[in-house]
Structure 1
Amino acid sequence: MKAVVLKGYGDVDVLAVQEMPEPKVGPGEVKVRVTAASINPVDWKIRRGDLKGGLDLKFPAILGRDVAGEVVEVGTGVEAFEPGDRVMGLVNAGYAETVVAPTEAWAKVPDTLDLRDAAALPLVTLTGTQLIEEHVRPSQGETVLITGALGAVGRSAVFAARARGARIWAGVRKKQVEEAQNLGVDGVVALDDPKDIARLPTLDAVADTVGGEAVAAVLGKVKHGGTVGTVLGEPKGAKEKGLTVRSFMAHPDAHRLEQIAVSAAKGDLVIPISRTFKLDDAREAQKVAEQGGVGKVLLVN
């Protein structure tokens, strides 16, 4: 099969498209022909070597955490899926024509949801919903600030917080304030404007998707004993301010992912896609994704 292979740490030129052995399906596993895979920040962080201290990686390696496609084979003991099913999943080695992953990684995709749109969902939507539902856990009426609210993880966190009845403030850059008004939140704040931050109400919690100076700037607005949930490690000074910090990494959840797929098919949760590239153009695709902006970048077969 064709795959995008990481040959070592460095710039995008360490990525190469080449033939690799097709993965074999084992007991409890599902083999999928990939329609599209999405690019996430973790991919270029791995490529650059940012995570090599805590990551056991053997070269050549195939990057890619989420895909969508069609089931071509199932292993023994698999009853939830059969060949021909349209699925999306939180996997490893997604930059390829074929992927194998455990049953619990996969969720069926509704007929009304395009597989390319589905490929943008698994990692970011599970991260955003788990951030809110498992770590911030706001009650009805509590005030939550979501940093990076226009990003894919942030949009997913807004979606989950709204379902819990929280009062939501969207934290974005000053140039994004007008666009963030379209999220349908209770308030929008420019995290790069100290005067704007000053008008924030007292917060019960912060759901942080960006880290760094953005979250540090708002910690003083969180009530004593309030919660900071984060996907980027403990913010400096949070515990010293008497805040509860919960840092985590997303985990597979087939049931929740299937619910998310239904919500996306209905248009209740939208993750914008900015560009699509062929697998052969993975270097350019990752370069574009790394530059940032609103919208996921996909690799399509």
Structure 2
Amino acid sequence: MKAVVLKAYGDVDALAVQDMPEPKVGPGEVKVRVTAASINPVDWKIRRGDMKSVMPVQFPTILGRDVSGEVIEVGTGVEAFEPGDRVMGLVNAGYAETVVAPTEAWAKVPENLDLRDAAALPLVTLTGVQLIEEVVQPSQGQTLLITGALGAVGRAAVFAAKARGVKIWAGVRSSQVAEARKLGVEGVVALDDLNDVAKLPTLDAVADTVGGMALTKVLERVKHGGIVGSAVGEPKGAKEKGLTVRTFLSHTDGRRLAQLGESVAKGDLFIPIAKTFPLTEAKDAQKLAEKGGVGKVLLVN
């Protein structure tokens, strides 16, 4: 099969399209012919070597955490899927023509959801929802800031927080304030404007999807003992301010992913897609995605 292979740590020139052995399906696993794969920040962070201390790889390796496609084979013991099913999943080695992953990684794609577009959903929607439901766990009526609220993970976090009856403040860049108001939240704050940050109410919690200075600026607005949940690592200075810090890595959850797919199909949750590239143009696709602020970028077979 054709796959995009990372040959060494480096820039996009470390990526190459080449023939790789096709993965074999084992017990409890599902093999899928990939329609599309999604590009995520973790992909270029691994490529650059940013994460080699926590996520080392053996070269050559295939990047890609989420895909959509059609089931072509199931392993022994698999009853939830059969050949021909349209699926999406949180996987490994997704930049390829075929992929194999455990049953729990997969969810069926709703009939009225484009199969290609479904590749944009698994990692970002599960990360955003798990950040709210499993990490921050805000209660009804509490005031919550979601940083990067217009990003794909942020949008999913907003969606999950709304379901809990939380008072949501969307943290975005100054240039995004008008767009963020369309999210239907309690308020919008420009995180790159200190005067605007100073106007924030006292926060019960922060759900952080961006990290860095954007988060550091708002810590003073969180009540003592308040929760800072992060999808991008432990924030500097939060514990020193008496805050409860919770970090996590997203995990597979086929049942929840299926529900999120239905929410997208109904229009209740929107994950913007910026552009699609052929699998053979993975270098250009990663370059675009790495610039940020462009919506999801897909690789299609």
Task: Quickly name the TM-score band, shorter chain normalised.
Answer: over 0.9
Measured in 1, the distance between the counterparts of 2:91 and 2:172 equals: 29
CA distance in 2, matches of 1:155, 1:294: 14
Q: Which runs of 5+ in 2 are unaligned?
A: none
SS in structure 1 of the partner of residue 116 of structure 2? helix
| Cα distance, 1:237 vs structure 2 | 1.1
- What is the CA–CA distance in structure 2 between the aligned matches of 1:132 and 1:104, rounded to whole Å? 21
Unaligned runs of 5+ in 1: none
Letter of the 2:193 counterpart? D
The equivalent of 2:149 in structure 1 is: 149
Q: How does 1:37-116 map to 2 (within 5 A)?
A: 37-116=37-116
Partners of 1:227 and 1:258 lie apart in 2 by 29
Task: Give runs of ≥4 in structure 1 deviating > 2 Å.
Answer: none
Matches within 5 A, 1:181-192: 181-192=181-192
Cα distance in 2 for residues equivalent to 1:230 and 1:74: 35
Normalising by structure 1, report the TM-score: 0.99
Alignment match, 1:129: 129
* Pairs within 5 Å for 1:242-257: 242-257=242-257
User: Residues 192-203 of structure 1: matches in 2 within 5 Å?
Assistant: 192-203=192-203
Hey, what does 2:117 align to over in structure 1? Answer: 117
Deviates most, 92-101 or 224-233:
224-233
User: Does the 8 A contact of 1:66 with 1:123 survive in 2?
Assistant: yes
* SS of residue paired to 1:33: strand
Per-residue CA distance 1:222-243 (angstroms, 9 max, x = gap): 1111100001111111111111
Counterparts of 1:55 and 1:293 in 2: how far apart (Å)? 25
Work out whether residues 150 and 294 of structure 1, in 8 Å CA contact, stay in contact via their aligned partners in 2: no
Post-superposition shift, 1:48?
Answer: 0.4
When the two chains are superposed, the root-mean-square deviation of aligned CA atoms in Å is 0.6
Distance 1:66 1:24 in 2: 18
How far the C-alpha of 1:294 sits from its partner, in A, is 3.3
CA drift at 1:247: 0.4
For residues 184 and 33 of structure 1, what CA distance do their matches in structure 2 show?
38
- Aligned pairs for 1:198-217 within 5 A: 198-217=198-217
Indicate whether 1:6 and 2:6 are aligned: yes
**Correspondence for 1:25:** 25
Residue 295 of structure 2 aligns with an amino acid whose one-letter code is: G
- Per-residue deviation, 1:87: 0.4
Q: Which residue of 1 aligns with 2:224?
A: 224
Partner of 1:292: 292
Q: In structure 2, what is the Cα distance between the partners aligned to 1:116 and 1:155?
A: 20
Paired with 2:55 and 2:130, the residues of 1 have a C-alpha distance of: 22
Pair 1:263-2:255 in alignment: no
Matching residue of 2:165: 165
- Given that residues 23 and 98 in structure 1 are in contact (C-alpha distance below 8 angstroms), is that contact kept between their aligned partners in structure 2? yes
Amino acid at match of 1:72: I
Task: Write the letter of the residue equivalent to 1:103.
Answer: T
Cα displacement (A) at 1:151: 0.4
Taking structure 2 as the reference length, what is the TM-score of the superposition? 0.99
8 A contact 1:7–1:15 mirrored in 2: yes
* Partner SS state of residue 153, structure 2: helix
Deviation digits for residues 58-81 of structure 1 (CA, Å, limit 9, x no counterpart): 111000000000000000000000
Q: How many residues align?
A: 301
Contact 1:65 1:94 in 2 (8 A): yes
By how many angstroms is 1:56 displaced? Answer: 3.0
